[in-house]
Structure 1
Amino acid sequence: MAKQSPQHLDASQFTAEQQFSADVVIVGSGAGGGIAAELLAKAGLQVLLLEEGAYYDRDDFVMEERWAYSQLYQQAAGRKTRDQAIGILQGRTVGGSTTVNWTTSIRTPKPTLSYWQTEFGLDFSGDNTLSPYFALAEQRLNIHRWPVPPNANNAKLQQGCERLGWEYTVIDRNVNGCANLGYCGMGCPINAKQSMLVSTIPSALTQGARLISRLSVRQLHWQGNQVQSLTAVLVDRFFHPRAEIQVRIRAKHFIVAAGAIGSPALLLRSKVPDPSGRLGKHTYLHPTVISGAVFNEDINGHAGAPQSIYSDQFVWPGDGQAGYKLEVPPLHPVLMATKLTGQAQAHAALMQQFNQLQVTIALLRDGFHPQSQGGSVSLDAQQQPLLDYPISDYLWQGMRRALLSMAELQFA
Structure 2
Amino acid sequence: MMSHVLPTYNRAPISFEKGEGAWAIATDGTRYLDLGAGIAVNVLGHANPDLVAALTEQAGRIWHVSNLYQIPQQERLADLLVDNTFADTVFFTNSGTEAAELAIKMVRKYWDHAGDPDRIEILTFEGAFHGRSTGAIAAAGSDKMVKGFGPLMPGFRHLPWGDMEALKQGITKSTAAVMLEPVQGEGGIRPIADEDLRQIRALCDSVGALLVLDEVQCGMGRTGRLFAHEYAGIVPDIMMVAKGIGGGFPLGAVLATENAAKAMVAGTHGSTYGGNPLACAVGARVMEIVADDAFLAEVNRKAALFRQKLEGLVAAHPDVFDGVRGQGLMLGLKCRAAPADLVKAGYAQHILTVPAADSTLRLLPPLNITDEDIAEAVARLDRAAASLDA
| TM bin (shorter chain) | under 0.3
TM-score of the two chains, using structure 2 as the length reference: 0.27
Q: Compare CA radii of gyration and give the structure with the larger one.
A: 1
- Give me the TM-score of the superposition, normalised by structure 1: 0.26
Of Structure 1 and Structure 2, the greater helix share is in 2
